[in-house]
Amino acid sequence: MPLSTSLLKTSAARLGFSACGVAPAGPVDDAVADRFRRWIAEGNQAEMAYLGNNVEKRLDPTLLMEGAQSVVSVALNYYPAQQLDASRQYEFAWYAYGHDYHEVMKARLTALAEALLANVEGNVHYRVFCDTAPVLERYWAWRCGLGWIGKNTQLIVSRAGSAFFLGEIIIDRPFDAYDHPVKSRCGTCTRCLDACPTGALGEPYTLNAARCLSFLTIEYRGDTLPPEAARAMGNCVYGCDRCQQACPWMRFARPTEVPEFLPKPEFLRLDHAALQSLSIDDYRHIFRGSAVKRAKYEGLMRNVQALYRLHHQVFSANEAEDGNLIIFI
């Protein structure tokens, strides 16, 4: 017997998910598959070699899980109610304010699957995913009717914005009703492309990770940042939200009500001086259970030091022009 789509969505809403949909499992559209293969062949994944692994599974969830018949996609809001003060604090990408989303999403996805199957007879097999397996998450969110993929490659939920974590349940049962893709509502807008400080969004719907500040400040393992990256960072030492901040749909964003995504008081107290002098013990305490651990202590401090040097070089140069050179030590 097919599973209930109504029960799925009711349970998802009860668990705090902002959007939920379901689509039949199967190969992604040929055009999407061709575009992804070309994106990899052109090296747009930069040093994230894992994105080029298991390509066939990434393009067909029935190869990822034997017997898969349906893909459930959900979105969980992470837009912060309280943001850091850029006048005295370095900025972090919004998604990193609270607890690591992988753990939060997997727990809620498992709870959703259990609620859906509580009164279902027979053996039902499923797997839950959140940015941890070869799944084209934004494609499946689009296929499941959650929203459309914007020109900045982010999933945009109508009248809600793009500050959402995505997760999936792949399951070996059909549903009694399936959702349909949402048409793009970006129109002729190019604000996200124009806002990218490094040109990583050189054309709509294509991200060059090697130029993206999110990659360079989080995934990149070099001892120093490329000079052009440091100059483009602005005030942000971890990640970058500028392409989604520029999106007109973000005016509809509402603060998250997920307790785990609320920032720790210690995080909100981190000013410039505190972060510049952050010890590894303080790092482990403040960012325990945080996605910021992805960059590691060395990576975060590399970013902080890059901005510190850049800002003080600029300030010193300005002072020199005024005849009042200040030496910083």
Cα 54 to Cα 133: distance, rounded to the nearest angstrom: 9
DSSP state of 84: -
Of 30, 34, 85, 131, which residue is the catalytic one?
131
CA 193 to chain centre: 17
SS3 content of the chain, % helix, strand, coil (to 5): 45, 15, 45
- CB-based contacts of 296-301 (< 8 A; 24+ apart in sequence): 299/217, 299/218, 299/220, 299/221, 300/237, 300/238
What one-letter code names the amino acid at 33? A
- In 3D space, the residue among 249, 238, 254, 251 whose CA is nearest the CA of residue 299 turns out to be 238
Instruction: Write the secondary structure of 249-286 as one string of H (helix), E (strand) and C (coil).
Output: HHHHCCCCCCHHHCCCHHHHCCCHHHHHCCCHHHHHHH
State yes or no: is 172 an active-site residue. Answer: no
- In 3D space, the residue among 287, 154, 266 whose CA is nearest the CA of residue 218 turns out to be 287
Contact, 193 vs 152, CB < 8 A? yes
Q: Which element (helix H / strand E) includes 311?
A: helix 296-321
Contact, 210 vs 163, CB < 8 A? no
Query: Which sequence positions are flagged as catalytic?
Result: 131
